[in-house]
Amino acid sequence: MSDFAELHYNGEIIKLPVVEGTENEKALDISKLRGQSGLITIDPGYKNTGSTRSAITFLDGEKGILRYRGYPIEQLAEKSTFLEVAYLIIFGKLPNKAELEEWTDDITHHTLIHEDFKVLLEGFPSNAHPMGVISSLVTSLTAFYPESLDPSSSPDEVRTSIVRLMAKLPTIAAWAYKNEIGQPLMYPKNNLDYCGNFLNMMFSTPAEPYSADPVVTNALTKLLILHAEHEQNCSTSTVRIVGSSHASLYASVSAGMNALWGPLHGGANQAVIEMLEAIKADGGDADKYLAKAKDKNDPFRLMGFGHRVYKNFDPRARIIKKAADDVLGKLGVSDPILDIAKKLEESALADPYFVERKLYPNVDFYSGIIYRALGIPTNMFTVMFAMGRLPGWVGQWKEMRENGEPIGRPRQVYTGENERNYVDMSNR
């Protein structure tokens, strides 16, 4: 096989090197193309553009494969814990016993947040969307830990910033929720594990202690693992591009959270439940909404369906669909919107519109139904996604810094006016 491709342009032959990944996927290196030919490439939405070489996640959308650092997602979801997976993603290897103990202990002992955060929280109206609150509070960490501002500091300093962020995000998220519903803020407890501690801060009150059902903590652990990393998606690319200007870890991750918030990305899990509720309120006619999704004059899309890279099935969705049945069964929850979701999926998968476009349920189609069964309010679903995705954002930011990647700065093809003279107000 040739190790370059030829581009014939204006009587010239330009040789473009072929780059090969460890799973034999091939790419054309166009980094010198403009210098060689005056041409740039155009690819709105980066549908066909590799922005980096990364050793973190391998994904084959045609075969439905997802691996973190080589380990299949199915095995990690079945056998691992969230903190172990986070270590794997961020530091590149499964931790041994001592490493995992140290990592867990460090995170457990950094969960408190500065008391002045309460003043910041009080400044938000109670109806503020928690995604806006948590992304603001993550940026605010820079004010409390100014040493985190220098991303070129020592590996130990970077590790401390990472530990703080991993440890404090559940506290920040639970406090955003408590502030919204007007309940006293609950402090972290060091005797609880990562998920148990978060659930306790969410659901206990000074009047009533909360003890998480192991079914709930296990389901939450699995969901966080399934969301932990997904290579160069919208929010992760945002983290890398913001970090490429040498912005700090907290500033970069906060930007990623805002990218995640949109309904085409992580905001889809909230949008799916709102869609299923709307279908239920409208008489439960799934076919009516399928017809709307297919109608090009109707802006309605089937939320939780379709994916930029999965064109056969989303392996995370398979695991989550099974987990939804298990969790609802074990908790004795019967949710009519699960039946609507299954009917929608069945009809869509038999419909030529969805088949031809390779549109399948994605990770968000069933995750909201599980979150709902666990008692998580709908507007916190994307916050749960953010907690899950945090190791991915951190690992990708760290890799980008360690690779010494250049500042992200795409080009464009200009389509505006040619040069023209300023027109005085009296002549407009």
**What's the helix, strand, coil split of the chain in %, to 5?**
55, 5, 40
Instruction: Assess 364 for contact with ligand CMC (CB under 6 A).
Output: yes
Stretches 51-59, 122-130, 150-158, 355-363: which one binds ligand CMC (CB under 6 A)? 355-363
Instruction: Assess 265 for contact with ligand CMC (CB under 6 A).
Output: yes
Residue 398, amino acid: K
From candidates 246, 280, 292, 308, binder to ligand CMC by CB under 6 A: 308
Asked whether the beta carbons of 197 and 111 are under 8 A apart, the reply is: yes
Per-residue burial over 255-285, b = 16 or more CB atoms within 10 Å of its CB, e = otherwise? bbbebbbebebbbbbbbbbebbeebeeeeee
**Residue 307 annotated to the active site:** yes
Nearer to ligand CMC, 145 or 385 (CB): 385
From candidates 357, 402, 403, 410, binder to ligand CMC by CB under 6 A: 357
Tokens of 94: 């499964």
Within 213-252, which residues bind ligand CMC (CB under 6 A)? 230, 233
Catalytic position from the list 287, 307, 314, 339: 307
**Measured between alpha carbons, how far is residue 110 from residues 187, 188, 353, 391 in Å?**
12, 10, 50, 16
| Residues contacting 83, CB < 8 A, separation 6+ | 100, 103, 104, 107, 166, 194
Instruction: Assess 268 for contact with ligand CMC (CB under 6 A).
Output: yes
Residue 149, amino acid: L
Q: Output the 3-class SS for 138-162.
A: HHHHHHHCHHHHCCCCCHHHHHHHH
Nearer to ligand CMC, 265 or 398 (CB): 265
Instruction: Assess 389 for contact with ligand CMC (CB under 6 A).
Output: no
Cα–Cα nearest to 198, from 214, 181, 229, 220: 220
Stretches 81-89, 134-142, 184-192, 299-307: which one binds ligand CMC (CB under 6 A)? 299-307
Asked whether the beta carbons of 255 and 351 are under 8 A apart, the reply is: no
Stretches 5-13, 139-147, 357-365, 368-376: which one binds ligand CMC (CB under 6 A)? 357-365
Within 32-51, which residues bind ligand CMC (CB under 6 A)? 45
Asked whether the beta carbons of 9 and 39 are under 8 A apart, the reply is: yes
422: left (phi over 0), alpha (psi -120 to 50) or beta: beta
Closest CB 314 distance from ligand CMC, rounded Å: 7
The residue assigned the tokens 């009587």 is 11
User: How many whole angstroms separate alpha carbon 81 and alpha carbon 75?
Assistant: 11
Within 317-346, which residues bind ligand CMC (CB under 6 A)? none
Instruction: Assess 315 for contact with ligand CMC (CB under 6 A).
Output: no
From candidates 87, 103, 250, 305, binder to ligand CMC by CB under 6 A: 305
Closest CB 368 distance from ligand CMC, rounded Å: 11
Closest CB 19 distance from ligand CMC, rounded Å: 23
From candidates 221, 362, 367, 396, binder to ligand CMC by CB under 6 A: 362
Instruction: Assess 363 for contact with ligand CMC (CB under 6 A).
Output: yes
From candidates 113, 302, 338, 387, binder to ligand CMC by CB under 6 A: 302
Closest CB 88 distance from ligand CMC, rounded Å: 20
Asked whether the beta carbons of 128 and 380 are under 8 A apart, the reply is: no
Size, binding site for ligand CMC by CB under 6 A: 21
Within 274-293, which residues bind ligand CMC (CB under 6 A)? 293
The SS3 call for residue 305 is strand
Angle between helices 363-373 and 381-402 (to 10 degrees): 130
Cα–Cα nearest to 194, from 107, 97, 112: 107
From candidates 39, 264, 349, 355, binder to ligand CMC by CB under 6 A: 264
Nearer to ligand CMC, 161 or 235 (CB): 235
Stretches 15-23, 79-87, 182-190, 360-368: which one binds ligand CMC (CB under 6 A)? 360-368
Q: Which residue is nearest to ligand CMC (CB)?
A: 306
Stretches 65-73, 167-175, 296-304, 326-334: which one binds ligand CMC (CB under 6 A)? 296-304
Nearer to ligand CMC, 180 or 314 (CB): 314
The pair phi, psi for residue 68, each rounded to 5°, is -95, 120
**Residue 364 annotated to the active site:** yes
Closest CB 303 distance from ligand CMC, rounded Å: 5
Asked whether the beta carbons of 399 and 56 are under 8 A apart, the reply is: yes
Instruction: Assess 304 for contact with ligand CMC (CB under 6 A).
Output: yes
**Measured between alpha carbons, how far is residue 405 from residues 54, 146, 243 in Å?**
11, 23, 10
The pair phi, psi for residue 65, each rounded to 5°, is -105, 135
Which residues are catalytic, by number?
307, 364
Binding region for ligand CMC (CB under 6 A): 45, 230, 233, 264-266, 268, 293, 301-308, 357, 359, 362-364
